[in-house]
Amino acid sequence: MTAPHPEFSPRMSRAFAQTEDSPVRALLDLVSRPGVISFAGGIPDPAFFDLPAIRAAYTAALEKPERALQYSSSEGEPDLREAIARKMTAEGVPTGPGDLIITTGSQQGLTLLGQVMCDPGDVILVEDPTYLAALQTFGLAGARFVAVECDDDGVVPSALRAAIAEHDPKLVYLIPSFQNPSGRTMSEDRRRAVADVLLETGVMLVEDDPYSALRYDGEPIPTIASFEGMAAQTALLQTFSKSVAPGIRLGWARVPAGIRDAMVVAKQAIDLHSSTVDQLAAVHYLTHPETHMDPTEKLETYRARRDAMVRELPRALPEGTHVTHPIGGMFLWAELPEGWDTDALLPYAMAEGVGFVPGSSFHVDTSIRNTMRISFVTNPEEDIVEGVTRLARAVQRYRAEQPS
């Protein structure tokens, strides 16, 4: 056998040739070490996995192995699309099974939209900060991002209108409820104002809605897709990952009719279809709500952990830091004073046995280095207190070693 050339290097595509490892992936490897308290990933507490109902759902699915273990359609199992359509209609977004594509997690919905909608150089308008994986996914499709001005209510409608006029975007990407990473939530009035701008300008919305089941305060707010006229120009992404369990890897995309066939073709090319047995288990789970665990304890526990993090975190961070107080979801966001660098702070934190996600990767302008994302759902309150104490020591060491 001929020996490989000693200087052989695979010729990668231009899209991946300059790609560095995901900062979140590298961080999660670090925080998985024993003894580290992680405020990094949005990891649900496994104590609240609805194991009896999930086990019953898979048992029911496997009662028909000739179906559950067989190939499925790329659009998704008809029974599952029917069950989700009823659910979405009840929540204010009139939906039929034909409006839906079942995805392998809602993350795949972003991948499909990037492939179907984006040509290199196309502009996508986003909040600042925004979801890291959306930047990665749409970025691999060649999109260019423009951050739109935001306030505590989310994207500012007048700024959105101005950005649309200036940049002629292909898409607007928003996370209106319990945004990742900032934790902020758009009010109903703000959502309606954003919908008015989009309807007026005819720009398509990608509404990412993974966290709406994790509300701790106030009443549910309608999705932007539910406002009159918006369903026809919105791709609405939802998932089982946060409401049931992330390991099931099922989500769904309600998409405008004009892109549905293209989305199905893209789905066929990527993985043919999502797991059949998972889909049939999801059908049983959705259609047997009487078996479900009462979510009250989970929501009360997560609320208490949020309150503990909001209470404790300021003592670790420098004076002048702004910390958000989310009404739901998994994350809060800290903006430190100018001159602080949370990428540089992270090694100090890891040396103390605590992890967080530096905020630079969530910004379109990655030179912004004074922000951080903190997850509060995974750890019990005593670990939150201890983790913040470790973070305080890291901040002290970082401050002491900076040039004056």
pLDDT at 16: 76
Note whether 284 and 388 are same-domain residues: no
Note whether 365 and 302 are same-domain residues: yes
- The C-alpha atoms of residue 320 and residue 317 are separated, in whole angstroms, by 9
User: 192-215 pLDDT, tens per residue?
Assistant: 999 999 999 999 999 999 999 999
- The pLDDT confidence band at residue 9, using thresholds 50, 70 and 90, is confident
User: 306-328 pLDDT, tens per residue?
Assistant: 999 999 999 999 999 999 999 99
- The C-alpha atoms of residue 311 and residue 315 are separated, in whole angstroms, by 8
Taking 90 as the threshold, does the pLDDT of residue 96 lie above it? yes
Q: Which of 237, 270, 288 is the last residue of a domain?
A: 288
User: 46-56 pLDDT, tens per residue?
Assistant: 999 999 999 99
- The C-alpha atoms of residue 22 and residue 133 are separated, in whole angstroms, by 9
- The C-alpha atoms of residue 181 and residue 335 are separated, in whole angstroms, by 12
Note whether 251 and 296 are same-domain residues: no
Taking 90 as the threshold, does the pLDDT of residue 23 lie above it? no
Note whether 37 and 79 are same-domain residues: no
Taking 60 as the threshold, does the pLDDT of residue 117 lie above it? yes
Q: Which of 21-25, 81-85, 260-264 has the lowest mean pLDDT?
A: 21-25
Nearest CA among 114, 59, 85, 22 for reference residue 285: 59
pLDDT at 21: 59
- The C-alpha atoms of residue 114 and residue 325 are separated, in whole angstroms, by 32
404 domain-assigned: no
Note whether 246 and 388 are same-domain residues: no
7 domain-assigned: no
Tokens of 32: 């998985």
Tokens of 240: 């089982």
pLDDT at 2: 66
Q: Which of 248, 272, 288 is the last residue of a domain?
A: 288
The structural domain count of the chain equals 2
Note whether 136 and 186 are same-domain residues: yes
* CATH code where residue 27 lies: 3.90.1150.10
Note whether 200 and 305 are same-domain residues: no
Antiparallel, parallel or unpaired: β 331-335 and 371-375: antiparallel
Note whether 98 and 19 are same-domain residues: no
Taking 90 as the threshold, does the pLDDT of residue 392 lie above it? yes
Note whether 69 and 90 are same-domain residues: yes
Q: Which of 249, 264, 288 is the last residue of a domain?
A: 288
356 domain-assigned: yes
Residue 369 sits in which domain range? 12-47+292-399
Note whether 270 and 241 are same-domain residues: yes
Note whether 279 and 317 are same-domain residues: no
Percent of the chain's residues with pLDDT above 70: 95
